[in-house]
Amino acid sequence: MSRKGNCLDNSPVESFFNLLKRECLNRVKITSFQQFQNIIDQYIHWYNNIRISVNKKGMTPNEYIRYHSNL
């Protein structure tokens, strides 16, 4: 994240955290820090490897990166 007042650099990070809260954290009652860590680890794995995105042509983020690095 960038310095204060530079919102363009922060928007992808803020968008990710918004998705994290909406798709994951708001659906579960967290009772311990260990449970929180496990939920975050599982979500990041799901987000990068399983969750497809319309703006990435129906690919996961990892597939999209691999596809564009081979061009």
**Tens digit of pLDDT for each residue in 22-35?**
999 999 999 999 99
**Tens digit of pLDDT for each residue in 44-55?**
999 999 999 888
2 pLDDT above the threshold of 80: no
Please write down the HEC assignment for all residues of 23-50: HCHHHCCCCCHHHHHHHHHHHHHHHHHC
pLDDT band at residue 1 under the 50/70/90 scheme = low
Spatial CA neighbour of 15 closest among 46, 58, 47, 38: 47
What is the residue extent of each domain of the chain? Answer: 7-69
pLDDT at position 57, please?
87
Residue 26 Cα distances to 9, 15, 23, 67, 69, angstroms? 25, 15, 7, 33, 35
Mean pLDDT, the chain, integer: 88
Phi, then psi, of 49 in degrees rounded to 5: -115, -20
